[in-house]
Amino acid sequence: MRQNETKKDVIIVGTGIAGSLIAKLLTDHVFDSTKGKMVHRADAQKSDNTQELSVLMFEAGLEAGTELDSVSSMTNYNEYIRTYYMEAAKVPNSPYPNLKQAPSPNVLDMEQITPPFPDKTGYLVQFGPMPFASDAIRVGGGTTLHWLGTTPRMLPNDFKLTDKYGIKVDHPNSKEKTPINWPIEYEELKPYYEMAEFEIGVSGNVSRQEYPISESMEQYYGDYVFPMKEIPQSYMDQKIIDGLAGTSVQLNSENIPLLLVPSPQGRNSIPNPKYGNTRIIKAETQDTGYKLVLDSSEKEEYKALGSVWNPYMGERCEGNASCVPICPVQAKYNALKTLKKALYKINENNNLSRNHNLEIKAQSVVYKLSVDQNDKDKISKVHVRRYTSKDKTDFIEESFDTSNTIVILAANAFENPKILLNSKYMVMENGKKVEKTAANRSDQVGRNLMDHMVMLTWGLFPEAVYPYRGPGSTTNISSFRDGNFRGDFSAWISPLDNWGWGWPAFSPGSDVGEFIGKGFFGAELRNALTDRLSRQVLFHFEIEQLPHPNNRVTINDQYMDALGIPRPVIHYALTDYEMKAMEQAKSASDQMFERLGIKDFTSYTEADKNSVIYNGVRYSYNGAGHIVGTHRMGSSPDDSVTNSYCKSWDHPNLYIVGAGNMTTLGTSNPTLTLSAFTIRSVESILTDLETQLKN
């Protein structure tokens, strides 16, 4: 083993959106030894009294994915695009390398599970009884490379399901039920949502947002506009909006009005003049520590941030309709844009220069931590297996001393718990040695795995609506995001998808095959395809899943990857709460299809790898890629892994950030919310750094 003695102020594991946000915000600040405070670069006096933070980041993916100079980043990204063109199955992971040394879960690997035998086809070892249907990707920038880019905020009631609807879940080690309120509320998170929307670059129109909440839009958003104007809604959306205007659906004797709203999105449109100048996220000192504020810059108006290699490419969405799995021009946000802001800073000549105090070690798989029981249970080492090429599985074993370092786990909600569960140490309890795992006093590490179950319905509109154009989705039905029904079954959000039947039926290829099979040729084939493809509509129901302690990630030494690191072992099932929502969502779809004159082609069959039977009816679901909940935040170390600032209850120098912190899932895509509370966590990290640098 190679012992690395180089001291770093901060070590960050992962270069996805959580890790990149923290790296960017921390490197935007320096330590002023005269004041004994962290200050923003814009406010720092040029003198010998300021100290740069030394930051080390680890990335499991290839080194090429983290090389962000213009030539290297363009070359690598174009290779992703070429790979995407060549792949027959255009699934989310298709453009990106699936490495033996850092494998990723892939939707193509999902199989039906026959308990007690697991499905070991892919990276995940799935014991089920239901397959976990979502994937992630281990590359520089993380899963933001293939996210859709939809950025709604959570709703106020999403943070307090126990208080509002009386919902509690099982406790893993007790017959008592556990409340599932977040330790923070929407109002506390609202300013950090604004910071996240600035950093991502959100397009939208506040005045056109409409949700089923008791708060007014003025209370929900305040005096606020998004950085960029909304992405235009598609022609198909407009036809559906016109057909459903002023109508409602009946669910469980409740009449629910239909609200169709343009979706806020993390992709470039036209900068909103009302947003004004660009912003700076900076820390201000308070008696209790630091407070981040979104301060206006006097230098320039807000501009859309283009591609990593060329700021003038990708300044506007071009409607390529391939947001999942890849935006070819990077008009859609990905975390590499934020990571580059950490790697390159404005120097005294107002030019970008490489920040040599930030080091990124790629091809470096962090697989465990060491705990120092003689020093307040601090994390004392980070253990890494670094592979030298994508073709070979030999590796160099390294460890990094972290006794005077803040360690931040910022990997995805599979990898963070996997690292923690692999970090074992012994303690004495009642005169006996007992094995513990890091950050797991609550026994919640790896538990409460959640995703949105995506139930799809599809059919033919009575006239041409021309799907397959523009971003994947530009409108959502927000009516079912909240309501009294949540005491009985899950809430959901319903995006209108612009992908025709591509997801459920593999159109247009399946349509070509069907018509050729019927003997169509020439003009007859063209006419049949024109009629079918121009009328395809797809409704999409993202159904909230509640946290459940038995839906979890574990590890087992029987299942190892090519580097000898445990693979994630998944136990996963749906409850009646979620399955009843599928039943209700299908009822809502039926009512809307009938009103719009849509001929329903929806079919759920026993051959589907992810189907359930509820009340004698079969429903099938897909994964949304919204993998959350495996290291939940909370108000007590007895039932959570971290506090509301994502700081471990058990280890004073450990932060665990990302979607795994989410206490519940709500009905919004999780990236914006995880970005907001990750930004908030920096306030606590800066406070700890101040103490560390003073000593």
Read off the pLDDT band of 171 (50, 70, 90).
confident
Write down the pLDDT at residue 47.
66
pLDDT at 1: 67
Structural domain includes residue 503: no
Instruction: Provide the domain limits for residue 412.
Output: 10-61+359-447+633-694
Cβ atoms of 309 and 70 closer than 8 Å: yes
Q: Please give the residue that has the higher pLDDT: either 267 or 44.
A: 267
pLDDT of 296 above 90: no
In a domain, 683, yes or no: yes
For residue 384, the 8-state DSSP code is E
Residue partners of 13: CB distance under 8 A and separation at least 6: 19, 57, 58, 366, 382, 407, 408, 409, 410, 411, 419
65 contacts 526 by C-beta, under 8 angstroms:
no
Would residue 333 count as lying in a domain? no
| pLDDT over threshold 90, residue 173 | no
Mean pLDDT of 436-454: 97
- Over residues 642-659, the mean pLDDT reads 98
In this predicted structure, the answer to whether residue 299 has a pLDDT above a threshold of 90 is: no
**Per-residue confidence at 5, pLDDT binned at 50, 70, 90?**
low
Per-position DSSP letters for 107-132, written without gaps between them: GGG----BTTBPB-SSSSEEEEESPP
Give residue 695's pLDDT band: very low, low, confident or very high (50, 70, 90): confident
Q: What is the pLDDT of residues 408-434, one digit of tens each?
A: 999 999 999 999 999 999 988 888 999
Q: Computed from CA positions of residues 667, 477, 271, 315, in that sequence, does the dihedral angle turn out positive or negative?
A: positive
In one-letter notation, the amino acid at residue 518 is K
The Cα–Cα gap between 657 and 626 comes to 15
Mean pLDDT of 665-681: 98
User: Which are the contacts of 686, defined by CB distance < 8 A and separation ≥ 6?
Assistant: 26, 29, 38, 283, 289, 290
Q: Which SS3 state, helix, strand or coil, does residue 68 take?
A: coil
- Do you find a cis peptide bond into 116, omega within 30 degrees of 0? yes
Lowest mean per-residue pLDDT among 59-68, 339-348, 456-465, 477-486: 339-348
Average pLDDT of every residue of the chain? 95
Secondary structure string (H, E, C) spanning 508-542: CHHHHHHHHHCCCCCHHHHHHHHHHHHCEEEEEEE
Q: Would you give the DSSP letter of residue 677?
A: H
Residues 6+ apart with CB under 8 A from 201: 227, 228, 266, 267, 268, 304, 305, 333
For residues 626-651, average pLDDT? 97
Mean pLDDT of 119-129: 96
Q: Is the residue at 85 inside a domain?
A: no
Instruction: Identify the pLDDT of residue 352.
Output: 82
Three-state SS at 431: coil
Look at the block and give the residue holding tokens 């950085």. 227
Q: Is 662 among the domain residues?
A: yes
Total H helices, total E strands in the chain = 13, 34
In angstroms, rounded to a whole number, what is the distance separating the alpha carbons of residues 21 and 679? 7
Q: Name the percent of the chain lying above pLDDT 90.
A: 90
What is the per-residue pLDDT across 34-80, written as a single tens digit (0 to 9) for each? Answer: 999 999 998 887 667 899 999 999 999 999 999 999 999 999 999 99
Residue 144 Cα to chain centre, angstroms: 7
pLDDT of residue 677: 98
174-203: pLDDT as tens digits: 888 889 999 999 999 999 999 999 999 999
User: Tokens for 526?
Assistant: 């063209």
The total of structural domains in the chain comes to: 1
Looking at the domain assignment, is residue 442 inside a domain?
Answer: yes
Residue 17's pLDDT is what? Answer: 98
Spatial CB neighbours of 421, under 8 Å, sequence gap ≥ 6: 437, 440, 445, 446, 553, 554, 555, 566
**pLDDT(454) > 90:** yes
Q: Which alpha helices (DSSP H) does 450-575 contain, by range?
A: 502-505, 509-517, 523-534
Token pair for residue 384? 């890494």
Q: List, edge to edge, every strand of the sheet that includes 37-40.
A: 37-40, 29-32, 50-52
Name beta bridge partners: 50.
Answer: 32
In this prediction, residue 120 carries a pLDDT of 95
Are 546 and 578 in contact, with CB atoms under 8 Å apart? yes
* Mean pLDDT calculated for residue range 372-388: 95
The answer as to whether 365 is a domain residue is yes
CATH number at residue 395: 3.50.50.60
> 391, 419, 376, 436: which is closest to 691 by C-alpha?
376
552-588 confidence digits (pLDDT tens): 999 999 999 999 999 999 999 999 999 999 999 999 9
Report the alpha-carbon distance of residue 618 to residue 602 in Å, rounded.
12
- Residue 322 CA to residue 143 CA, distance in Å, equals 15
* Token reading at 433: 């040695």
Asked if residue 23 is part of any domain, the answer here is yes
What is the DSSP annotation of 196-243?
HHHHHT-B--GGG---S-SS-HHHHH-S---SBPPPPPPHHHHHHHHH
